[in-house]
Amino acid sequence: MSNTTVPANAEGMPKFDRAAVMRLAWEIYRKRFGGERDAASRRWAFSLSLKSAWMTVKWEAKEAAKSAEQKRADEIAALRLEVLRIAATPFRMRLDNDRYDRLQQQISALQRAA
């Protein structure tokens, strides 16, 4: 764990809409854990929902802060991973030739645009 100190007024810390986080947590809770349970199970389920909501909000904030170049690089990495998945078929069987070629074209187009 880092030893960084946070000022009492939390300057420089990202601001999140806590009401929206709670709404999302309740939405997740109702979708995943609907039904009758004892109090301890409900608290545990809502705790998981709240953690999931915070992770979602933080991930969305991080994605929104990315530049266009970073988004393009992430997209290229995802396409390359898909190409590797297609190329990893046993005995060099190619069932997805059209898809493989289309992915290669998308990768080259994104690299040219950069």
In this prediction, what percent of the chain has a pLDDT beyond 90? 38
Concatenated DSSP letters for 29-58? HHHHS-S---HHHHHHHHHHHHHHHHHHHH
pLDDT in tens, 79-100: 999 988 887 877 767 777 788 8
Question: Which tokens sit at 43?
Answer: 């608290």
pLDDT in tens, 25-47: 999 999 998 877 899 999 999 99
Q: How many C-beta atoms surround the C-beta of residue 49 within 10 A?
A: 21
Which pLDDT band, with edges at 50, 70 and 90, does 7 fall under? low
Report the domain count for the chain: 2
Which pLDDT band, with edges at 50, 70 and 90, does 53 fall under? very high
Can you say how many angstroms the Cα of residue 25 is from the centroid of all Cα atoms in its chain?
Answer: 16
Gap between the Cα atoms of 114 and 96, Å rounded: 27
Q: Are residues 47 and 85 in the same domain?
A: no
Look at residue 110 and tell me whether its pLDDT is greater than 70.
Answer: yes
Q: Are residues 56 and 76 in the same domain?
A: no
| Domain membership of residue 58 as a residue range | 18-65
Q: Are residues 22 and 56 in the same domain?
A: yes
Q: Are residues 88 and 59 in the same domain?
A: no
What would the mean pLDDT of 50-63 be, rounded to a whole number?
93
